[in-house]
Chain A
Amino acid sequence: MATQRAGHDRGPGDGQHAGVGLAAQPPGGRVDVGWPRGGFNEERLARALGWFSIGLGLAEVAAPRSLARLIGVSDHRALLRVLGLREIASGLGILTTRRRPAGWLWARVGGDVVDLALLGAALESGNTRRGRVTAAAAAVAGVTVVDLLCSQGLSRSPGVMRPIAAEYATSITVGKSADELYRFWREPQSLSRIMGHFAEVTAAGAGRTHWVVRAPLGQSLEWDAQVVEDRPGELLRWESLAGAQLPTAGAVHFRPAPGDRGTEVTLRFRFDPPGGALGDAAVKLLGPAPGMLAGRALRCFKSLAETGEVPTTEHNPSARAGADAD
């Protein structure tokens, strides 16, 4: 399964889209999956912290004795080298990850806590220059605050920070013919089972469907969608109708896979939340990872088509309170 986030802001060059439609062709060619250049401040800050990690790490590995003198602790060369390797690892992690490097930033926070603990221990032991150790601890504490703020910023869903139109494409290969899969997708019960983990979908006839996304506290998002292109055994494309709380468009493509592998199924969809508080609420309701929702939907579709059921650990016995819901 491949999930790619295939678009970012609606830029001025995107003006030909009157609504939120998708092109009929499956996404070909290059899809930008990196983090946007010059995006959020947190991301620029993360890069700076990444380079800082590598610099500090190299110093710890290459010149542990001088560094120990500088921060006023006794000569713990091996320990400093280990800490240095950790710094380099988190630095490389931050700089090379193609997503927002929240995990690596949290790793830095963890590392800071370890460093503070070690400096604390050094203060307790007599064999140190207290002034220098205190200064080093203050410096680390400062960096910890920066790391913490940056981690928190990166961990927040990008959508919540800034509602953007986003297009997602996810593919899976299913061991059935394109015709069978197309028919199965169109069965009235199918959509509600496939999308059941995030939306209730009811068929209203004539290619029209009604979508309801429910959230805690009785909130919900509803829209009607209409099939706008229908090529049996090949493609189905739909768009929300005017007045939708969350304008959306989607398409499912069926292409024969090589050999005995069945059919490659690609699900694409686009959300176009309106600006302001309503848009924020809409994106919050969708949750942090719409790409993952599409992935789940396709897995569900594949398992239903191939086996007639969806794997689950619902009602799974365990010694936790109540049975497992997930």
Chain B
Amino acid sequence: MRALCWYGINDLRVETVPDPTIVNPHDAILRVTMSTTCGSDLHFIGGYIPMMREGDVIGHEFMGEVVEVGPDVKKVKKGDRVVVPSFIGCGNCWYCRHEFWSLCDNTNPKPELQEPLFGYPTAGIYGYTHAFGGYAGGHAQYVRVPHADTDCFLVPEGLRDEQVVFLSDAAPTGYMGADFCAIRPGDIVAVCGCGGVGLMAQQSAHLLGAERVIAIDRFPERLRLARERAGAETIDYTAVDSVIDALKEMTGGRGPDACIDAVGMEAHGTGLQYAYDRVKQLLYMHTDRGQALREAIVACRKGGTVSIMGVYGLMDKFPLGVLMNKGLTVRTAQQHGQKYVPRLLRHVERGELDPSYLVTHRFSLEDAPRGYEMFKEKEDGCVRAVFTP
């Protein structure tokens, strides 16, 4: 089959690779109908996180049609049109039973790569680094889905691929980010970042009852989407002296009740702090440029919640004292997709959420490297590129 493969830093190629096969009894094979770029892919494409191998098939946000199932698959059938969360859950371990799906005990085949750093391994994920299992990803014609009965979600009839594909990652991640804020009536939620996850978090905050949502970014077209599609007020951080002051001003001097970080380790910013972070990251002296997160911590109201959805490494200069003295609550996780996909499908069916506007560019799988380039450089207002094999 054809698949998008990682060959090195900023080197993606579409190659012919072997087809996936049923290996374990609960596996299914999907014919991928649509997959999409994700900002967290840029971290390994740019070489900021390790443990990729030359030739890896990438992509963790995808949907498709079931073409084959293993002998112990009971619910999922050949021909089903399904969407699959990026993190693989077994459905049986203590973590899955308590809905901490991305912490599953039984889906990372390479726990010894993660244990030294994390203490305990997380779940496996498709098309990511080998510390997260090294499973072949979804930017391909076919993909193997372990634990199919638990991880394949049937798509209701009448929904288009573009409405559903983001329920694989961007939508549940954004929704979980808002869910972590424990939003109560009157709450104002600030969201740093207006990419796919940020926009989904903004809409989710509204769905969960936020009074107002404030979105922060620097790209005019993304800020426009935040206003027009996600009903947010916006701050262009390059147009204000201080994001913290701007947020304070917009919230009557209180600060947002919750701040969601939808940016991650390659944050952009302004001024000295950004320059310092950038230089240190380029010298591999630290993994993260953390300005957005640091600002969120300072901007948040006392006793508020900081919900971190961006992917980070081992950040230094983390303002723990600010967190402690302000009595902030930090909530964070990789997406527990299986918990949120069913309710998100209902929102999409009822017309309360339509993520399809995230699709700004469409490519065939053969042109996927070009798609990633546009996505990375945010050329032509690119928010998300989708690929069809």
Q: Which residues of A come within 8 Å of B, CB atoms?
A: 1, 173, 175, 260-262, 292, 295-296, 299, 302-303, 306-320, 323-324, 326
Contact = CB atoms under 8 A, between A and B. Distances in A.
A117 to B, nearest CB: 15
Given A262-B94, A303-B106, A306-B93, A318 B120 contact: no
Given A317-B20, A319-B17, A306 B92 contact: yes
B96 to A, nearest CB: 9
Given A292-B112, A309-B25, 17 more contacts: A1-B115, A175-B92, A260-B94, A261-B94, A262-B94, A299-B111, A303-B106, A306-B92, A306-B105, A307-B93, A311-B24, A311-B106, A313-B133, A315-B21, A317-B17, A318-B17, A319-B15
A80 to B, nearest CB: 15
B15 to A, nearest CB: 4
Interface size class of B (residues with CB under 8 A): 35 or more
B107 interface: yes
Contacts of A295: 112
Given A302-B105, A307-B147, A318 B92 contact: no
Given A292-B112, A318-B53, A308 B17 contact: no
Contact of A307 (B3, B56, B92, B136): B92
Contact of B106 (A173, A307, A314, A318): A307
Nearest to A292: B112
Contacts of A307: 26, 90-93, 106, 147
Contacts, number: 102
A313 B109 contact: yes
B273 to A, nearest CB: 18
A298 B232 CA distance: 50
Nearest to B22: A315
B93 A309 contact: no
Contacts of B107: 311
A173 B112 CA distance: 17
A38 B144 CA distance: 52
Q: Which of B1, B107, B109: most chain A Cβ within 10 A?
A: B109
Given A299-B111, A316-B135, A175 B23 contact: no
Interface in B83-124: 90-94, 97, 105-112, 115, 120, 124
Interface in B125-144: 133-136, 140, 142, 144
B54 interface: yes
